[in-house]
Amino acid sequence: MQYPDKFHLTQDQNRRFARKNLVRLIFTNSRFEGLTTTLPQTQTIVDGMSAAGVSIDDTNVIVQLKRGWQYIINENKPLSLKIEQNINLLVARYDSLDPGNFRTGEVTVELGNNRGEYKPDSLNYKQEEKFFDELMHSDTSIADKAMTLMYHNMRNQLFWDGNKRTATLAANKLMIDHGAGLINVPLDRWDKWNELISKYYLSGEMNALKDWTYENGIQGVVLNKNSNLPKPDINPTDYD
C-alpha cells in the first residue's frame, strides 16, 4: 500500500493546527501511561492549575507531555536523533531511569491481555543512525516516513522509558515540519491499535499496522484558497 500525504499545509499552518489541538493530543498521548484523566481535567492541568482527584505523578505526565509538544511545535531544527533525545528528556523526565539518554541495557515490554512479553535486542546506536539517515533520504511520503519511524522506534525501545510517547512526538515533528498533518489515533480505536502494535512487536512486520494507521490515525485540515467567499481587505501589520 502506498501512503501519499493526505494534507498539504505550510509549516506555520501545521504548527497552528497542532496548537489548536494541543489539549486533545496530550489527553490521547497520556493513555500510553494508563492515565484516566478526563479531557476537562487535562485542560485544567495544561492551563497551569491543579485538577481535583489527579495525582502528582499523573499531573507530571501531562505537564511533561505539554512541554514535549511545545518543544516539537516550536523547534526550528529538522528532526534528528538528538531531537529525539530531547523529546525523551522532557516526556520521560520523571519516570525514566536515565531520561534523554539511549538505552544501554536490557528491557522487557509487557504486551498485556495475555499477549506475553517482548524483549528487544540490545540497542546499536550506529545501526539506529544508519536507519534514521536512510529513512529520511528515502523516496517516500512524509506520512510513510513518520509512521515507519514511529513504529520502528517503539519496537526497538531506543530509551529506558517513554518510548511510545517519544516516538509519537518525533513522528509528529516530522509531520508538522512538512505540513502533512498529525498522527493521533482516536481513543475509541485504541483497542484495535494496541492489538496491532502487539502483533508487530512480536513479528517485526509493520505493513498491516501502517495500513491501519494511515486509514484511522492521520488528522489534518484542507484549506480551500480558491473559495469564492470574501477575504479581509486590511493588512494586519498596519495595526501592530
11-100+107-217 in CATH: which number? 1.10.3290.10
What's the rounded Cα separation, in Å, for the pair 37 and 21?
Answer: 17
What's the rounded Cα separation, in Å, for the pair 207 and 201?
Answer: 12
Give domain limits for the chain.
11-100+107-217
Residue 35 has which C-alpha cell?
Answer: 492515565
Backbone φ and ψ of 159, nearest 5°: -120, 170
The pLDDT of residue 227? 76
Per-residue pLDDT for the chain (240 aa), expressed as one digit of tens each? Answer: 789 999 999 999 999 999 999 999 999 999 999 999 999 999 999 999 999 999 999 999 999 999 999 999 999 999 999 999 999 999 999 999 999 999 999 999 988 767 789 999 999 999 999 999 999 999 999 999 999 999 999 999 999 999 999 999 999 999 999 999 999 999 999 999 999 999 999 999 999 999 999 999 999 999 887 778 888 999 999 998
Residue 196 has which C-alpha cell?
Answer: 496491532
The pLDDT of residue 229? 84
218: part of which helix (H) or strand (E)?
strand 218-219
What's the rounded Cα separation, in Å, for the pair 205 and 230?
Answer: 50
E-assigned strand segments in 68-181: 109-110, 117-118
What's the rounded Cα separation, in Å, for the pair 124 and 108?
Answer: 17
The residues, any chain, with a CB within 8 Å of residue 2's CB and separated by 6 or more, are: 141, 144
The residues, any chain, with a CB within 8 Å of residue 172's CB and separated by 6 or more, are: 18, 25, 72, 146, 182, 183, 184
CA distances from 208 to 1, 42, 166, 193, 213 (A): 9, 32, 22, 11, 9
The pLDDT of residue 111? 86
What's the rounded Cα separation, in Å, for the pair 78 and 16?
Answer: 18
